[in-house]
Amino acid sequence: MKFFQHFGEYLLFLKAVFTKPEKGKIFFKQIVTESNNIGVGSFAIISLISGFIGAVSTIQIGYQLVSGILPDYLIGRIVRDSNILEFAPTVTALVLAGKVGSNIASEIGTMKVTEQVDALEIMGINAANYTSFAKIIAGVFTIPMLVLYAMILSLIGGAVSGWASGIISVESFVKGLRTDFMGYNVVFALTKAYTFAFLITSVSAFQGFRTQGGALEVGESSTKAVVYSCMSIIFFDYIISQLMLFK
Amino acid sequence: MVIIENVNKTFGNKHVLKDISAKLYKGKCNFVIGASGCGKSVLMKCMVGLITPETGSITFDGRDFLKLNYNEKISVRKDIGMLFQNTALFDSLSVEENVAFPLRMFTNFSEEEIIERVNFCLSRVNLINLNKLFPSNISGGQKKRVGIARAIALNPKYLFCDEPNSGLDPLTSRVIDELITDITKEYEITTIINTHDMKSLFVMGENIIFIHEGQKWWEGEKAEIRPSGNKELLAFMEASEF
């Protein structure tokens, strides 16, 4: 029962968020700032994680495919598909749920407990819109770009680790990447990326916005933002996979 | 003038405001006093629209706030300035940007006009050369003054001050009191002040409302307090440091 109450509150929050901003110029500035915080601010961690995931997946797939029968370029093909379909969008989203989600929730939560949100309301400003709309738009704009970047970097990481460990030559790895490539897989990954981006930013903003109390509650909201974002990512990962891969 | 009539508010089983009616006058410092938990903050939140009371009316110069639609409420809110107990300055904005915020949101002023108005408001509260600092870099008294500057940026008709002197030393408190009084008189604002500070009340109080256990217990002018013989009010006064 509590779940439905929270879900209803979440929908009402989204209704308040998705209204026309008070001033377009200020809204545009906010989007640029938030895009910088979410996108550029997450560049290093996504680089590190996606590069290593590609590298590790190549080594593990190479370890499992030790056989004289199967051609080694299959390693490149499996690394490509597993990274494009799952690792790049989902792992990136889970990492960003931790980094971006907790940041959004704690920022808005602090504004709430220090009466900054009340100050906005008293001025006649739609506080949900002002605090959250730009963050959601910036997230939906930049997170799919980070996912695309993660896809490319994970494949580069895979090629480098395959070559460095002697599992597979770069030529064979690239041959595997090009074998039976399906553009639809990228569309599938980007669909997940857009969905996850919306979930991370909106769920976290909602958790921040419903904070009441003090510093302790801001911490709780931040934790809830990460937990609920991760749970919704995993749930929608399953739903989208079911809908798009097995029609 | 702000007229409150028969306002009731409950939270769960707790009846916090019990049928409160009062008049708050233009160009005067109207004080709402009472012990912690008596309901004065809830009453102020009802007045500024952060909490909706179950019954009653709150009228701003003939506009019944509770009966207005969303857009009409926004137009009333643009006439309201508020100084919060903890100032509620935006952490991510500098002093100048904080004061400029309502101007940028609600006026079509050019950037030069905004900066001119910001500098005027900051000089009005005796703050100069702090424009580029952030709230975390200034003192509590300076924050309060920035809060006042932000509250008066749009020339409000109504100024709400929630515990304006809390956490301030006596000298800074006096400066803040004088500022609020001067601004109230100069711009003919209806000022409503929630406080425990009896020193402020006796310096600047004109119309005083005493809330006790959620009810309006007494209303009058400061000269009428002692002769009133109101037991609870006098006990509250005597218990204060003043």
Q: Within this chain, do residues B95 and B106 fall inside the same structural domain, yes or no?
A: yes
Alpha carbon distances (Å) from A17 to A86, A106, A131, B48:
30, 18, 9, 22
Chain B residue with the nearest C-alpha to that of A21: B105
Chain A residue with the nearest C-alpha to that of B83: A119
Flag whether A161 is in a domain. yes
Range of the domain at B9: 2-79+157-239
Position B160 pLDDT exceeds 70: yes
Flag whether B41 is in a domain. yes
Is residue A164 exposed (0-12), middle (13-18) or buried (19+ Cβ within 10 Å)?
exposed
Q: Within this chain, do residues B226 and B185 fall inside the same structural domain, yes or no?
A: yes
Range of the domain at A170: 29-60+71-245
Q: Within this chain, do residues B144 and B167 fall inside the same structural domain, yes or no?
A: no
Q: How much is the mean pLDDT over chain B?
A: 89
> Where does the pLDDT of residue B36 fall: very low under 50, low under 70, confident under 90, or very high at 90 and above?
confident
Chain B residue with the nearest C-alpha to that of A23: B105
All residues of chain A having their beta carbon less than 8 Å from the beta carbon of residue B48 are: 122
Torsion of Cα atoms, A135 then B143 then B176 then B239, to 10°? 90
Flag whether A223 is in a domain. yes
Q: Within this chain, do residues B57 and B168 fall inside the same structural domain, yes or no?
A: yes
Name the domain boundary from B100, B134, B155. Answer: B155
In sequence order, the 6+-apart residues with CB closer than 8 A to the CB of A147 are A88, A89, A92, A93, A189, A190, A192, A193
How many structural domains comprise chain A?
A: 1
Q: Within this chain, do residues B12 and B75 fall inside the same structural domain, yes or no?
A: yes
Q: Which of B75, B86, B102 sits opposite A123 (nearest CB)?
A: B102
State both tokens at B114: 């905004």
Flag whether A108 is in a domain. yes
Flag whether B201 is in a domain. yes
Q: Within this chain, do residues B14 and B48 fall inside the same structural domain, yes or no?
A: yes
Flag whether A3 is in a domain. no
Alpha carbon distances (Å) from A99 to A154, A197, B130:
20, 13, 33
State both tokens at A165: 């460990």
Name the domain boundary from B109, B126, B155. Answer: B155
Distance CA B216, CA B38 (A): 10
Torsion angles phi and psi, residue A182, rounded to 5: -115, 115
Q: Is B89 on the interface with A (CB under 8 A)?
A: yes
* SS3 state at B64: strand
Q: Is A115 on the interface with B (CB under 8 A)?
A: yes
Chain A residue with the nearest C-alpha to that of B81: A123
Q: Check CB contact under 8 Å for A123 and B50.
A: no
Distance CA B133, CA B119 (A): 14
Q: Check CB contact under 8 Å for A119 and B82.
A: yes
pLDDT in tens, chain A (247 residues): 788 999 999 999 999 999 998 888 999 999 999 999 999 999 999 999 999 999 999 999 999 887 778 888 999 999 999 999 999 999 999 999 999 999 999 999 999 999 999 999 999 899 999 999 999 999 999 999 999 999 999 999 999 999 999 999 999 999 999 999 999 999 999 999 999 999 999 999 999 999 999 999 999 999 999 999 999 999 999 999 999 998 6
Flag whether A15 is in a domain. no
Other Cβ atoms less than 10 A from the Cβ of A78: the count is 19
Distance from CA of A43 to the nearest CA of B (A): 23
Q: Is B73 on the interface with A (CB under 8 A)?
A: yes
CATH number at residue B68: 3.40.50.300
Q: Within this chain, do residues B17 and B61 fall inside the same structural domain, yes or no?
A: yes
Q: Is A239 on the interface with B (CB under 8 A)?
A: no
Chain A residue with the nearest C-alpha to that of B108: A23
> Where does the pLDDT of residue B235 fall: very low under 50, low under 70, confident under 90, or very high at 90 and above?
confident
ipTM of the complex: 0.86
Among the ranges given (B59-68, B116-125, B229-238), the one the predictor scored with the smallest mean pLDDT: B229-238
- Partnered with residue B212 across adjacent β-strands are B215
Q: Within this chain, do residues B217 and B231 fall inside the same structural domain, yes or no?
A: yes
All residues of chain B having their beta carbon less than 8 Å from the beta carbon of residue A123 are: 77-78, 80, 101-102, 105-106
Q: Within this chain, do residues B31 and B133 fall inside the same structural domain, yes or no?
A: no
Average pLDDT over residues B70-91: 89
> Where does the pLDDT of residue B27 fall: very low under 50, low under 70, confident under 90, or very high at 90 and above?
very high
Q: Which of B42, B82, B103, B152 to mutate to test the interface with A (most CBs of A within 10 A)?
A: B82
Q: Check CB contact under 8 Å for A123 and B48.
A: no
pLDDT recorded at residue B241:
54
In sequence order, the 6+-apart residues with CB closer than 8 A to the CB of B36 are B196
Distance CA B137, CA B114 (A): 23
Distance CA A29, CA A34 (A): 9
* Strand B29-33 with B190-195, pairing: parallel
* SS3 state at B127: coil
Q: Where are the alpha helices (DSSP H) in chain A?
A: 2-17, 24-38, 43-64, 73-82, 92-96, 102-113, 116-122, 127-128, 134-165, 170-178, 183-209, 215-245
Render A39-65 in DSSP notation, one character per residue.
Answer: TGGGHHHHHHHHHHHHHHHHHHHHHHT
Q: Within this chain, do residues B29 and B148 fall inside the same structural domain, yes or no?
A: no
How many structural domains comprise chain B?
A: 2
Q: Is B44 on the interface with A (CB under 8 A)?
A: no
State both tokens at A98: 């931790």
Q: Which of A110, A116, A124 sits opposite B74 (nearest CB)?
A: A124
Distance CA A42, CA A99 (A): 8
Flag whether A8 is in a domain. no
Q: Within this chain, do residues B128 and B164 fall inside the same structural domain, yes or no?
A: no
Q: Within this chain, do residues B167 and B214 fall inside the same structural domain, yes or no?
A: yes
Flag whether B101 is in a domain. yes
Chain A residue with the nearest C-alpha to that of B147: A119
State both tokens at A6: 């929270």
Name the domain boundary from B155, B176, B209. Answer: B155
All residues of chain A having their beta carbon less than 8 Å from the beta carbon of residue B74 are: 124
Flag whether B84 is in a domain. no
Q: Check CB contact under 8 Å for B105 and A125.
A: yes
Position B242 pLDDT exceeds 70: no
Flag whether A12 is in a domain. no
pLDDT recorded at residue B201:
87
Average pLDDT over residues B100-124: 92
Position B129 pLDDT exceeds 60: yes
In sequence order, the 6+-apart residues with CB closer than 8 A to the CB of B157 are B60, B61, B79, B80, B189, B190
Position B140 pLDDT exceeds 70: yes
Flag whether A46 is in a domain. yes
% of chain B residues with pLDDT over 70: 99
Distance CA B152, CA A125 (A): 17
